[in-house]
Structure 1
């Protein structure tokens, strides 16, 4: 049975900080309504390469998007392409690099910030281009898109945790408190999303280090969380998950035909 999906990408959120600081999501896990898994990011542990990995199932060494300064459309078939080809409705409230990968490149704010075009892979979008764009505003953008367009696939991509890490580093109150704030903001929206029948994936692209950067193989740079929420998930413990499988996971939930890497242990049978 196909489901609608909300994919929440919290940029720069390390697994340990998610585990320790996101009390609402952890409360849902304790209540048996969510599950938390730990997975390693692909390499390099940089944002644009890992957006491509998460949304196409292709690691950076194969996609060719190997650093953040590569500004071009993706050459891969993304989750948005698969959904549009199946006549599903797509939307994103996201940092502008997502628009550059899947809609139009380069991003022109006056043209692309507010997007409504059924011919594009991301048909409805509210994109931003400042890392300090407030996470609570972003979630309102996502909720606006959800209520206005009733998308089958909605991406919500926040930057404040990553921004705090770049300013203060991994082992800092600023970084941990940014994660705590995002947890509170999510607690305002998750009940409505779940009541509406959405399956919710909450994850990150990469973590952060004490040098206020990322890109390498340190555990705090690579280990990221995966929270799964919704009736379609198995909530099976001890499932080994790879980052390249999250595109296929979302595609399976949406009922799409695809050849992406997949992990069907995460879905209820």
Structure 2
């Protein structure tokens, strides 16, 4: 099944519960389910991109801080999908390109990627934390329309950027979350109508010190929304961040050796 993974960088669980009105409306109609998720440690971006996309904890992967700038040594969703004959794409921060395509990132070479042999075959990668989420969602939709990827990663940064500038308990941070929900309300109905399976989550949360990286609940508790026929929508499921990679591979129908959350999946997803 074609699948879209949306990683809303830096989105705290409580703010997701309070501010994402469109996503919760879809859940209320029986189209999706909302879960709490604890991120792995340290609660930092690059380590947790790796965790979400490979199912490997930061300490195990060696991607233990944001300054580790090298290709991943693990197999990601992109690798499994490409090797299974599927098409992959990403509209994402440039660290994702560095992890799975080429490192170091060269904006002239890598910002717009068209390389069927690479794990991320088609991509639009940005390197400015203030790159507008509105543009990022448009980049993603362009990739989806042009290349019809089986797996598409969408990774906007403005929520995290607002948190670093203003902190967790700020109107700027909450309003960036509301704006992301608004962009999803613009694009997601069409994805669902066309049969896409959609997962929306975050890498980590945010604290009042305008940072993250530790063990505070506001830093480690993040949302997980799932939508589509591949998901059981079981309210009692208790997914782990390390299980997202395997769960998505299962939905894509590609061979993998990653842990997964069977309770998240319907019987139609091969469970």
Q: Identify the TM-score tier after normalising by the shorter chain.
A: over 0.9
Q: 1:28 aligns with which of 19, 26, 29?
A: 26
CA distance in 1, matches of 2:188, 2:207: 29
Aligned equivalent of 1:146: 144
Q: CA deviation at 1:209?
A: 0.3
Q: CA deviation at 1:195?
A: 1.2
1:69-84 equivalences in 2 (<5 Å): 69-84=67-82
TM-score normalised to structure 2 length: 0.98
Aligned equivalent of 2:197: 199
Q: 1:219 aligns with which of 214, 217, 220?
A: 217
Secondary structure class of the residue paired with 1:125: strand
- The alignment covers a number of residue pairs equal to 267
1:175-190 equivalences in 2 (<5 Å): 175-190=173-188
CA distance in 2, matches of 1:255, 1:108: 33
CA distance in 2, matches of 1:166, 1:249: 31
CA distance in 2, matches of 1:259, 1:120: 20
Q: 1:237 aligns with which of 235, 238, 260?
A: 235
CA distance in 1, matches of 2:233, 2:207: 30
CA distance in 2, matches of 1:249, 1:191: 22
CA distance in 2, matches of 1:31, 1:194: 13
Secondary structure class of the residue paired with 1:126: strand
Q: CA deviation at 1:226?
A: 0.4
Aligned equivalent of 1:68: 66
- What is the RMSD computed on CA atoms of the aligned residues? 0.5
CA distance in 2, matches of 1:98, 1:252: 22
CA distance in 2, matches of 1:80, 1:258: 11
